[in-house]
Homo-oligomer: A and B are copies of this chain.
Amino acid sequence: MNSDSEAQHPVCVVVGVGPGNGEAFARRFALEGYAVALLARRPARIEALAAELPLARAYPCDAADAASVETVFAKIEAEQGPVDTLIYNAGSGVWGDVESVSAEAFEAAWRINTFGLFVAARQVIPAMTARGRGSIIVVGATASLRGVAGTAAFAQAKAAQRALAQSLARHLWPKGVHVSLIIIDGVVGGPQTRASFPDRSEDFFVRPEAVADIALSLTRHDRSAWSFEVEARPFGEKW
């Protein structure tokens, strides 16, 4: 760690910092005094965001690439300290039915959503279990719960991610590490999605700030009453 002041702050790693949930997680945890590590493939956004937030650092990283993840987490631990909270937000949707998605897209969906979580979790588990505390928060989607025709690639990846999160939870909860899964059941209101749904009112979208509030509250749950799966669904959503 390169400074005393950082040492006093819990570390929160956000894997997958885009303009929606990822940025909101970073801002919310920074506001609460966490030293935040911002991970994304492209450096531009995370570097700009790191410059805005106290104690934040940008770590360009391909979450689907084990070697890249291992290198970056070693760096985070050296520079910011042991990880208190891991938020796994990587993984965009790939649409298409089984006939129209490519084998490459099918595999890439699993690699970013599931394999990346597997690798990232393994980097933080030793320190978390040694300290008997910590939080791993996985960001899921409606597709985590079921596969429809048009989600042949996305749903298998999200369902695999959910099963892995369950396995992590049942393995780590008794060691004091809170693993949880936020099911986003709606369209997150980032700049791109708002542009894609120009006719929708604000009520249609999941506010990233609200998801970040849920994530923060999950880190504060009394361990006598932990939740594993938490939905985030707009009040007007059909479900």
Q: Which residues of B contact A221 (CB under 8 A)?
A: 210, 214
B227 touching A164 by the CB < 8 A rule? no
A202 and B222 CA atoms in complex are apart in Å by 13
A232 touching B223 by the CB < 8 A rule? no
User: A131 on the interface (CB 8 Å rule)?
Assistant: no
User: A57 on the interface (CB 8 Å rule)?
Assistant: no
Interface set, chain A 140-179, CB cutoff 8 A to B: 143, 146-152, 155-168, 170-171, 173-174, 176, 178
With A103-B119, A225-B233 in contact, do A167 and B171 touch (Cβ < 8 Å)? no
With A152-B171, A225-B211, A231-B228 in contact, do A164 and B147 touch (Cβ < 8 Å)? yes
Known: A118-B156, A155-B167, A226-B234. 9 other contacts (CB 8 A): A106-B115, A114-B160, A149-B167, A152-B171, A156-B164, A213-B225, A224-B234, A225-B232, A228-B239
With A114-B160, A167-B148 in contact, do A222 and B236 touch (Cβ < 8 Å)? no
Number of interface residues of A (CB under 8 A): 74
Q: Which residues of B contact A161 (CB under 8 A)?
A: 156
With A170-B149, A207-B224, A232-B225 in contact, do A164 and B125 touch (Cβ < 8 Å)? no
B156 touching A160 by the CB < 8 A rule? yes
Cβ of A100 to closest chain B Cβ, rounded Å: 10
Q: Which residues of B contact A107 (CB under 8 A)?
A: 115
A107 and B210 CA atoms in complex are apart in Å by 34
Contact with B along A160-202 (1 / 0, CB 8 A): 1111111110110110101000000010010000000000001
Contact partner, A162, options B159, B222, B224, B233, Cβ 8 Å:
B159
> By DSSP majority rule, is chain A's interface helix, strand, loop, or mixed?
helix
Q: Write the chain B residue with the least CB distance to A164.
A: B156
A233 and B214 CA atoms in complex are apart in Å by 17
Q: Which residues of B contact A234 (CB under 8 A)?
A: 223-226
Q: Which residues of B contact A158 (CB under 8 A)?
A: 163
Q: Write the chain B residue with the least CB distance to A125.
A: B99
User: A229 on the interface (CB 8 Å rule)?
Assistant: yes
